[in-house]
């Protein structure tokens, strides 16, 4: 539509959409009031959480007590706890070496992300990494919920109707929802326990029994009004934080794994840089942040995985907005989209390919970071941006994961009306196997045979990632990956890679 009608388009009777990277900082302002659009917030079913708060002033009140908890200084104090979970993930993957059992890598990544954020916010992790099969229903349920929001936006009553159904009935229809119900109950039990302790005389003594102050302790000790400290509101808040923080990081790690597999030269450069780390000590995030190619890989992974791929509307409640010659009345929902930002060819040339090198030049990186909006921007920016960055930086550079890799994949693509997630119930699969030490130095190349020609999008360029907010691409069950551990892993190739593509909307068609 933007190709045909220009940079600003009315996409519904009530909403506008803008495709102009230079306007992003104006719309997603940090200094001016910005409300959210009720059509968007209704999809979550958590009206009392900060993510669903419509009013700018009310959101500011809630976020003011969350921001210190998710500050970089606070997070870095818990870096050793994150490293423990990284070690656990690596050790779990090593258990599959030589067994021939495939691993869907999004499952352990989701378990890792969930354990990190649950331990950080609740003081007690869910220990999903301890599950023998990485509880696939959890990852699949989070993906299914993300996809289902496309129905909850226009019909928010549907979500409340589903919540009213007996849990046993819903669990029989979708076994994965049982895990979600358990997750909700665990949150509520812990919240009620902390609230009860908070009112007791020996509260300070009991608080010391936690490894670190929890998210709930910070809220209860804050100067928020009593209605902001109720168990239901805290439950909704923590469910939103854990749900969003688990799926998005796992998705980014999954895609990063795939793109490094597909690009041998990128993997070689990354491994060469990681091999410079001192093997006798554990590298800190500060050490990793000084590695130019590693940080470039992470930035490119965030760019090409988008964060939230659907449009994010903002409303200026108190004055008209001006976009070029158009005046936008106060109270009008206006949205922009990370996918369009990240695929702007003037800013990110060759945007459909994985090119970490674009970030290597310091001056160029500073310029490009203005347009990297995986976490959005402004006063409504994702509260977990620093924790998410730490999880990515801490987990993927682990040599036991990013060692030598070979892979063969079959790709598929489907239309999904702007939701983010994976197709069906499978993602990247991994078969860890031992390989001779003599071959470690040169056996992590990647080779593909194409059973069908690569297709092109309507812009005329070849692609393997979404060409619009309405499409995403995901490996299907045939993807066999050899994920690397410290000693190295080798795999046999099976089958060919094929590519299905969706005919995207072309203006005037």
What SS3 class is residue 253?
helix
Question: CB–CB of 406/443 below 8 Å?
Answer: yes
Q: Phi/psi class of residue 192: alpha, beta or left (left: φ > 0; alpha: ψ in -120 to 50)?
A: alpha
What SS3 class is residue 474?
strand
Give every CB contact of residue 222 below 8 A, 6+ residues apart in sequence.
65, 229
Strand partners, 408: 480
DSSP string, 352-378: TS--GGGG-SHHHHHHHGGG--TT--G
Dist CA 162 CA 146 (whole Å): 15
Residue-level length of the chain: 509
Strand partners, 475: 411
Cβ-count burial of 272 within 10 angstroms (0-12 exposed, 13-18 middle, 19+ buried)? exposed
DSSP state at residue 336: E
Both structure tokens of 472: 């995403």
Give the residue from 460, 475, 457, 377 showing the smallest Cα distance to 421.
475
Dist CA 271 CA 278 (whole Å): 14
Question: CB–CB of 159/166 below 8 Å?
Answer: no
Angstrom CA distances, 128 to 20, 108, 111, 134, 136, stand at 42, 8, 5, 6, 10
Both structure tokens of 408: 């063969």
Angstrom CA distances, 347 to 5, 139, 301, 351, stand at 21, 34, 16, 9
What SS3 class is residue 312?
strand
Is 474 annotated to bind ligand? no
With residue 196 as reference, give the H or E element that holds it. helix 176-198
- Angle of helix 106-122 relative to helix 231-262, nearest 10 degrees, comes to 150
Measured from the Cβ of residue 464, the count of other Cβ atoms closer than 10 Å reads 18
Residues forming the annotated binding site for heme?
Answer: 382
Task: List residues forming the annotated binding site.
Answer: 382
């Amino acid at each position: 539509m933007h190709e045909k009608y220009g940079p600003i388009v009315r996409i519904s009777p009530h909403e506008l959409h803008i495709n102009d990277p230079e306007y992003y900082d104006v719309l997603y302002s940090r200094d001016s009031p910005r409300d959210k659009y009720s059509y968007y917030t209704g999809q979550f079913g958590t009206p009392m959480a900060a993510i669903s708060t419509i009013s700018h002033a009310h959101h500011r009140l809630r976020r003011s007590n969350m921001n210190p908890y998710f500050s970089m200084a606070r997070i870095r104090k818990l870096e050793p706890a994150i490293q423990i979970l990284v070690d656990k993930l690596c050790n779990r993957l090593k258990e599959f070496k030589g067994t021939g059992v495939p691993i869907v890598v999004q499952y352990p990544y989701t378990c890792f992300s969930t354990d990190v954020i649950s331990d950080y916010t609740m003081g007690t992790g869910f220990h999903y990494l301890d599950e023998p099969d990485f509880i696939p229903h959890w990852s699949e349920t989070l993906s299914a919920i993300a996809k289902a929001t496309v129905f909850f936006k226009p019909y928010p009553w549907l979500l409340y109707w589903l919540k009213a159904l007996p849990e046993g009935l819903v669990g029989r229809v979708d076994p994965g929802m049982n895990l979600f119900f358990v997750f909700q109950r665990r949150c509520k039990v812990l919240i009620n326990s902390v609230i009860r302790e908070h009112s007791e005389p020996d509260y300070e003594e009991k608080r010391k029994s936690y490894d670190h102050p929890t998210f709930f302790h910070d809220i209860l000790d804050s100067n928020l009004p009593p209605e902001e400290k109720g168990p239901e509101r805290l439950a909704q808040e923590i469910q939103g934080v854990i749900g969003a923080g688990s799926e998005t990081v796992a998705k980014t790690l999954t895609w990063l794994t795939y793109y490094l597999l597909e690009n041998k030269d990128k993997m070689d450069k990354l491994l060469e840089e990681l091999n410079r780390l001192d093997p006798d000590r554990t590298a800190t995030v500060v050490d990793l942040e000084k590695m130019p190619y590693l940080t470039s890989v992470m930035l490119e992974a965030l760019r090409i995985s988008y964060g939230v791929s659907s449009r994010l509307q903002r409303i200026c409640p108190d004055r008209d907005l001006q976009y070029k010659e158009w005046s936008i009345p106060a109270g009008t929902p206006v949205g922009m989209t990370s996918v369009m930002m990240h695929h702007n060819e003037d800013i990110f040339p060759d945007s459909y390919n994985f090119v970490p090198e674009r970030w290597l030049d310091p001056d160029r990186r500073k310029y490009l970071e203005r347009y990297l909006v995986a976490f959005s921007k402004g006063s409504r920016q994702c509260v977990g941006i620093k924790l998410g960055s730490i999880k990515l930086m801490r987990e993927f550079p682990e040599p036991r994961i990013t060692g030598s890799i070979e892979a063969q994949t079959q790709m598929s693509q489907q239309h999904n009306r702007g939701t983010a997630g994976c197709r069906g119930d499978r993602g990247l699969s991994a078969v860890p196997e031992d390989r001779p030490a003599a071959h470690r130095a040169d056996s992590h190349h990647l080779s593909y045979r194409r059973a069908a020609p690569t297709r092109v999008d309507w812009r005329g360029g070849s692609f393997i990632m979404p060409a619009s907010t309405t499409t995403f691409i995901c490996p299907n069950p045939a993807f066999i990956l050899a994920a690397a551990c410290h000693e190295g892993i080798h795999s046999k190739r099976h089958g060919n890679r094929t590519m299905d593509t969706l005919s995207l909307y072309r203006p005037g068609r």
